[in-house]
Chains A and B, each alone.
Chain A
Amino acid sequence: MSLTALDTGFFVRLLQGDGRTVDRWRALVEGEGEGVVSGLSLVELLRLSLKGAIGREDAGILLDAIPAVCRVVWPNWTVGERSARLSHGLALPLVDAIVLATALEAGAEELWTTDAHLTAYEGRMRVVRL
């Protein structure tokens, strides 16, 4: 079963109704493949709602749905250490590096993101820029 890592921007795009994102989310809901999300994405979505960038009710729906549909991984030392190395090696901001390290540690085949910095990664995992 394929494992797809989803970055925070994926969920913003989902609310916006982006076609690729909607199709991917629907597939995960239908049980086609598995999703993995960094716990920091939940924090970022909550923060976006507090800033008014997305609605609070919609954020609440996502914060309920994401842990139900996907595996949520909070940073531990293994992710932290790998994040530090990725951040240093690829000159990535720390949150980007944590998202990337989470995806790699989980064994994801793809990482779906809106973040341009993450395209700096080249390796066994494919970065899909939304």
Chain B
Amino acid sequence: MLCSHHMRLTVHLPDDLARLLKQIALNEGKSMSALTAEALDFYLRERRRRALGLKALERAGKAPVDPKALEALEEGRRELDRP
């Protein structure tokens, strides 16, 4: 979700990328500014998603885990069902 407040930002794009941006914006009936914001939002979210996912992956096999962790999980679930 994009914030409704806007900050003016000047960026320099390669000619080919600027042409592509203009063409897609025209085709989709959006302003270049809106399309740029949409693309940047998607890119930054994806980048964050990947970075956090990989950080968890890096801990695989290295993290200390109590051998009884799954038993503790199971026990926690049973606790809620005890009369």
Residues of A within 8 A of B (CB): 8-9, 12, 14-17, 21-22, 25-26, 28-31, 44, 47-48, 51-55, 58, 61-62, 64-66, 68-69, 93-96, 114-115
The 10 listed contacts between A and B (C-beta, < 8 Å) are A14-B56, A22-B61, A25-B57, A51-B72, A54-B66, A58-B63, A61-B56, A93-B77, A96-B77, A114-B70
Query: Once A and B bind, how many residue pairs between them come within 8 Å at the CB atom?
Result: 99
In the bound complex, what is the Cα–Cα distance between A22 and B76 (angstroms)? 25
Secondary structure class of chain A's binding surface, majority of residues: helix
B72 engages A15 (CB within 8 Å): no
Chain A contacts for B80, CB-based, 8 A: 93-95
Which residues of B sit under 8 angstroms from A61, Cβ to Cβ?
A: 52, 55-56, 59
Q: Which residue of A lies closest to B58 (CB)?
A: A61
Binding site for A on B (CB under 8 A): 46, 48-50, 52-57, 59-66, 68-70, 72-74, 76-78, 80-81
